[in-house]
Amino acid sequence: MNRLFGSKNTAPKPTLTGAISNLDTRIESVDVQLAKVNAELMTFQQRISKMRDGPGKQAMRQKAMKVLQRRKMYETQKDQLEQQSWNMQQAGMMQDNLKNVMVTVDAMKTTNKELKKQYGKVNIDKIEQMQDEMADLMDIGNDIQESISRSYDIPDEVDEAELDAELEALGEEVELGGGWEAESSTSLPGFLEDADAVPSFLDEPPSKIKEAV
């Protein structure tokens, strides 16, 4: 059967890196041939420069021309191989870039799925409602702060001259009356002098209750 249909090729498929490596090896081989050709041309050039004009010099020139043609062939072959190697290198760079792009795309897909799962659980309306409630609470707190920090019948502006005059008047009263301590030790407050007196804020005195016989 193998003679009729042949056996299956189990050799590994060539890779781009391997192909570039083979081309580089061939370019190195061409460089070796070019070095030999250049050495031959230098030898012919030295001999031709020392020879006189004649059939021998002409024959030497013909041999040098053939060697020069070989050098041109090697140079053309080297240029082609270098161009092929460069094209493959560009293809390799494109392949690497494509791999990186695919990895990036896969990562973006995974991230997109995760974001959808996370943001799908978020209710924007509830967040807006919570923000409105927070704003209302802040307004209420500001109103409370303003209310408890309100002043009680204290004028916003106080005349310092009037305060100085009142202090001087109080000082004179203390000097004339013997001081506040003396006055408080010898006399009772007005509302304690007559305990049975009718308070001034009542229009009529209370009626006396008759004692039972």
Q: Where are the domains of the chain?
A: 14-116
Q: How confident is the model at residue 47 (pLDDT cuts 50, 70, 90)?
A: confident
Angstrom distance (rounded) from CA 32 to CA 34? 5
Angstrom distance (rounded) from CA 61 to CA 36? 18
H or E element: which one contains 206? none
Residue pair 114/70 in contact (Cβ under 8 Å)? The answer is no
147-164 pLDDT tens trace: 887 766 655 566 677 777
Angstrom distance (rounded) from CA 163 to CA 196? 38
| Average of per-residue pLDDT values in the chain | 77
Residue pair 59/48 in contact (Cβ under 8 Å)? The answer is no
Q: Which two tokens stand for residue 63?
A: 């041999």
Whether the model pTM is above 0.85: no
* Percent of the chain at pLDDT exceeding 70: 70
Angstrom distance (rounded) from CA 175 to CA 182? 11
Q: What is the mean pLDDT of residues 16-39?
A: 89
pLDDT at 73 exceeding the cut of 70? yes
Nearest to 71 by CA among 44, 106, 48: 44
Residue pair 40/109 in contact (Cβ under 8 Å)? The answer is no
- pLDDT at position 212 is 44
Instruction: Output helix, strand, coil percentages for the chain, rounded to the nearest 5.
Output: 75, 0, 25
pLDDT at 170 exceeding the cut of 50? yes
pLDDT at 124 exceeding the cut of 50? yes
User: Token match 């009356």: residue?
Assistant: 177
pLDDT at 19 exceeding the cut of 50? yes
- Residue 13 backbone dihedrals phi, psi, to 5 degrees: -70, 145
**Amino acid present at 100:** N
Residue pair 100/77 in contact (Cβ under 8 Å)? The answer is no
Q: Which two tokens stand for residue 200?
A: 């001034």
pLDDT at 16 exceeding the cut of 90? no
- Residue 209 backbone dihedrals phi, psi, to 5 degrees: -85, 125
pLDDT at 88 exceeding the cut of 80? yes
Chain centroid to CA 59: how far?
78
